[in-house]
Chains A and B, each alone.
Chain A
Amino acid sequence: MTGAPYLEVFKALSAETMLVVTAFIALTADLVSLRRKDRVERYRGVGTITIIGLLAAIIPLWGQLSSEPVSLLGGTLVTGELVALFKLVIVGLTVITALISMDFDLGRHVGEYFATMLFGAIGMMLLVSTEELITIFVALELTSISLYILTAFHKGELRSQEAAVKYFMFGAISSAFLLFGLSYLYGVTGTTNLRVMQQAAGSSSSSLLSAGLLFVIVGLGFKVAVVPFHLWAPDAYEGAPTPVTAFIATGSKVASFFVLLKVMMIGFAGMEGSAYWCNFAPGWTMLLAVVATLSMVLGNCAAIVQRNVKRLLAYSSIAHAGYILIGLIAATQMGAASVLFYVIVYALTNLGAFGVVAALSSRAGGDNMENFNGMARRAPFLSLLMLVFILSLAGIPPLGGFFGKFYLFAAAIQRDAQTFGLLWLVIIGILMSAVSLYYYLILMKHLYVIAPSETTRISTPAYVNGTLALVALGVILLGLFPEPILALLNRLVVRL
């Protein structure tokens, strides 16, 4: 790799660089000047620094949004519109997470908290911008390790520790699987670049490659939390501090699905097999079809019996991962666009939902469903926002979740509009949506129908309300006017 284009690399990584600098500024500022201040002030201070840094990182990304795709260092680093768009999404999600965190007491390590969050965000951004196996692995580890630490941040609470340990154990094992699988791929194809691998794999059909594929699916399946690799998710979601849960459920999901999409559709192009009903053929669409079915059925059915809101959302997010896979199984341009669209909607919606839970649970004394009884009377505005988020998750129009789901299912049917080979997945998805409506409505029943045990009004800071309102507005607009972003994604995935 002689004569590496350092200037180009630096330009491509300018946003990440800014975040690294911000993380250190946040650490230093907290250490030097804020340490003796009141805890609330420290959270606000460091949080503001973090948010300013993130907002500043938007500037270079905005510039890349209109740049031609470039591949540097043999695919280690790629830029272009799609990459920039998803980096922007991740930055946006991190900003909102930071805003929610400012209202949440996570102990005295304020600077460390925000810095770790920024490192996690950097990992996700790198993950989005690479087409090379080693870098994918490294970025995935950077993300995961940051998230393990964040999960454990509630130092006083046992369930936070338990969650972190579980998350770490499962995560470490999944990383091992992934690395093992990647080594097979390298062994067969002799390359770590996804695009080169596609060509090399096309000529050889070895069973080693299939084994590699299987391990990669297992490894990435852990990261996106699909059945049967989901076991960490409910505990981690429930135990982690709620803003962290929001970050795990949104930012890391976006990045992981993006990389899953890339690995499957670029690296394993030509190994799709078939997931058509009664016409199965081995390949990754068939494997993912099994995983998707299990996720939708198990995620939704297990969510019914949950009494803890965060746990319920964890199972619901497993189910949603199943829906998203339907778009991926379609393995078409429309399918890829639908996956990316849904991931954005899903992340925004879940972030909003966890944001409301974070804001309310700390004031209502817990995050069990009973704690939310009669919230519509105690905190009408946030309850209304929660209604929007939950109905979007349930797929009720005119919210983003509805259109996203519609587009996923449409992509699956479009794949084979003659014999409707993928219709069976769509039918499962739709019927499971009906199941999901049940538990979402049970949750809303606690907020809207059941009378509260105490009637004191809950007041939340204006910036939290404002942020969440903006998120809700985004969810509504994505549902009402999906065309611009849809057209953009459809244009961009052509180059995928």
Chain B
Amino acid sequence: MQVDWSIYISFIGVGLILLLPRDSKTLIRWVALLTGVASLLVALRGYFAYNAAVNDLIAATGQGFVHVVNRPWIPSLGISYHLAMDGINYPLVVLNGFVCVTGILFSWNIEERVKEFFAFFLTLIAGVYGVFMAMDLFLLFVFYELAIIPKYFIISIWGSTRKEYGAMKLVLYSFVGSALVFIGILAAFFAAGGTTFNILELASKHSFSRDLQIWVFPLIFVGFGVLAGMWPFHTWAPTGHVAAPTAASMLLAGVVMKLGSYGCFRAAMLLFPEGLAYWKWWIAWLAVIGIVYGAAVALVQKDFKFIIGYSSVSHMGFVLLGLATLNVIGMSGAILQMFSHGIVASLLFAVVGRMVYDRTHTRQLDELGGLAKVLPFACVTFVIGGAASMGMPGFSGFVAEIQVLIGAFGMSPWLVVGAGIGIIITVAYILNAIHKVFFAEEEHGGAGDSHGHGQGETGASRWSVSPISLPEKVAAVILMSLLVIIGVYPPIMLNMIKANVELFLRGAQ
């Protein structure tokens, strides 16, 4: 079973769930979980096999791709069903698997329309797997659009806070982004002679004129950049993340935003090196603005979930900044940051959405407080996730962001100054959130009572909440251990990333 089975297993899971009666909720949850675990295991097996073989592979063939499937799909247009893996998309495929499994675990308490929830969720997962693996522009686009629609239903049915607005905004932003990509893809296809959609063939031909590259590159880059939370096209992200149910926030911030940055890398940067050279300063500065802006807005938020929502915008800025550096260390950092932020964002959204909000029914910082006593596990989890988010050494976030910064220094020290300001603000808002939500016992006043869910102040704590359940603990431990593993032993992932980034840069010059 090769790694493409991750896609098929997810679709099979959707089919099975649709066939189950809607009342057997436990069974549906287990089917979803087993589907997620199975697809993750398939992906992990491929990952470690590739990791062991990557250096030999590159030495032998001069390129880092393992072609999984490549068969003609619509030959008259040169479209093929081509899935290939390298050191760039393997980490992301594995990330998707982890977020899928933990997302299902964090959704264990969903009682309403369980069948439809997991059907939509797994469809989304399958689409995301497909985008990361596709090496044919058309196929990539197909999977990309396939992943748009389930988000709408997941958010608008199971979400909270202005869910229909958030869902529609997110879908329309992604769709308009994909429209730009679509125009760019068609233009590239016909400019290259109209014979193939294969990304690698298009890239190796280098047959695009400079003029074409200069106008097509921004179309595709911005089109995907919308989904990556690129400032100023980021506004869907906070509202969408906040409106979404926990598993969907995890997936949106953790994986779907990476679809965008991955698309920027794979489609725009690989195909249009001259366009990239022309536009890279724009990208870098927009990224820095995103870093600072996201962090600054997160600092003044009153809603716990909005803090994490804006922090995603800020952290995705590091990805875009790293990609724009065009040197090995910066780009490797960007790719690693995609993985790292995927895990961090999932963890933080899980704490906010599942562990805190589902129990307290409020996310206002003023109304929360003192949760460390009643939910110590949530507190520890958030502190670890927050530390990784701040870029504390020992966690994956540090390894990723420091590389991005070093890379950016090579481009211009001023970029690093800007990003550094962002990091300082990040420390401030994370600490502020930790303080207000988990400690800060005395500050709450009467705010909780006026909203009717302060639960009164009886005895030791005003919160009478159910303890953290087993599925939550398992999922949180999985995510935290990933942060630590990458943080302590980065080569396990960085090795393959670096090797492939080097190849990319050699091809681009």
Contact surface of A with B, Cβ cutoff 8 Å: 376, 380, 391, 396-398, 402, 406, 409-410, 413-414, 417, 420, 423, 426-427, 430-431, 433-434, 437-438, 441, 444-445, 448-449, 482-483, 486-487, 490
Contacts and interface: CB of A to CB of B under 8 A. Distances in A.
B22 to A, nearest CB: 8
B315 to A, nearest CB: 28
B303 interface: no
A438 B74 contact: no
A448 B164 CA distance: 12
A431 B179 contact: yes
Contacts of A486: 74, 76
Given A376-B116, A413-B186, A437 B172 contact: yes
Nearest to A480: B73
Contacts of B58: none
B179 A410 contact: no
Given A417-B191, A434-B172, A486-B74, A398 B146 contact: yes
Given A410-B186, A430-B183, A397 B168 contact: no
Given A437-B175, A449-B153, A396 B146 contact: yes
A317 B470 CA distance: 52
A198 B113 CA distance: 61
Nearest to A483: B74
A461 to B, nearest CB: 22
Interface of B: 22, 73-77, 116, 138, 141-143, 145-146, 148-149, 152-153, 156-157, 164, 168, 171-172, 175-176, 179, 182-183, 186-187, 189-191, 194
Given A406-B138, A409-B186, 16 more contacts: A380-B22, A397-B141, A397-B143, A397-B145, A410-B186, A410-B190, A414-B194, A417-B194, A427-B183, A434-B176, A434-B179, A438-B172, A444-B152, A445-B164, A449-B164, A486-B76
A402 B74 contact: no
Nearest to A395: B145
A288 B416 CA distance: 54
A291 to B, nearest CB: 22
B51 to A, nearest CB: 32
Contacts of A426: 183, 186
B164 A434 contact: no
Contacts of B171: 437, 441
Contacts of B138: 406
Contact of B75 (A396, A402, A483): A483
A448 B153 contact: yes
A297 to B, nearest CB: 15
The 10 closest A-B pairs by CB, nearest first: A417-B190, A397-B142, A430-B179, A449-B156, A434-B175, A483-B74, A434-B176, A397-B145, A413-B186, A449-B157
A490 B73 CA distance: 17
Nearest to B127: A397
A380 to B, nearest CB: 8
Contacts of A410: 77, 186, 189-190
Contacts of A406: 138, 182
Contacts of B149: 391, 396
A448 B157 contact: yes
Given A426-B183, A434-B179, A445-B164, A413 B76 contact: no
Nearest to B143: A397
A433 B187 CA distance: 18
A51 to B, nearest CB: 30
A482 B75 CA distance: 10
Give the secondary structure class of B's interface: helix
Contacts of B75: 483
B223 to A, nearest CB: 11
Contacts of B194: 414, 417
Contact of A445 (B141, B148, B156): B156
28 contacts: A396-B145, A397-B146, A402-B142, A409-B182, A409-B186, A410-B77, A410-B190, A413-B186, A414-B194, A417-B190, A417-B194, A420-B187, A426-B183, A426-B186, A427-B183, A430-B183, A431-B179, A437-B171, A437-B172, A437-B175, A438-B172, A441-B171, A445-B156, A445-B164, A448-B157, A482-B74, A483-B76, A486-B74
Contacts of A423: 183, 187
B186 A433 contact: no
A182 to B, nearest CB: 36
B162 to A, nearest CB: 13
B179 A441 contact: no
A416 B138 CA distance: 20
Contacts of A483: 73-76
A396 B182 contact: no
Contacts of A398: 142, 146
A343 to B, nearest CB: 19
B148 A396 contact: yes
Contact of A413 (B143, B148, B187): B187
Nearest to A437: B175
Which of A398, A430, A438 has the most chain B CB atoms inside 10 A of its CB?
A430
A396 to B, nearest CB: 6
A198 B77 CA distance: 31
Contacts of A441: 152, 168, 171
Which of B168, B182, B194 has the most chain A CB atoms inside 10 A of its CB?
B182
Nearest to A414: B190
Contact of A433 (B146, B168, B179): B179
A15 B5 CA distance: 48
Given A410-B77, A483-B74, A483-B75, A431 B176 contact: yes
Contacts of A420: 187
A201 B383 CA distance: 80
Contacts of A380: 22
Nearest to B79: A483
Contacts of A396: 145-146, 148-149
A414 B191 CA distance: 9
B153 to A, nearest CB: 6
Contacts of B172: 434, 437-438
A367 B138 CA distance: 37
Contacts of A438: 168, 172
A412 to B, nearest CB: 9
Nearest to B163: A449
Contacts of A482: 74
A448 B116 CA distance: 10
A417 B138 CA distance: 18
Which of B143, B175, B191 has the most chain A CB atoms inside 10 A of its CB?
B175
A224 B366 CA distance: 60
A397 B116 CA distance: 20
A242 B74 CA distance: 36
A483 B78 CA distance: 11
Which of B75, B142, B148, B191 has the most chain A CB atoms inside 10 A of its CB?
B142
A391 B152 CA distance: 12
A130 to B, nearest CB: 29
A426 B219 CA distance: 14
A489 to B, nearest CB: 10
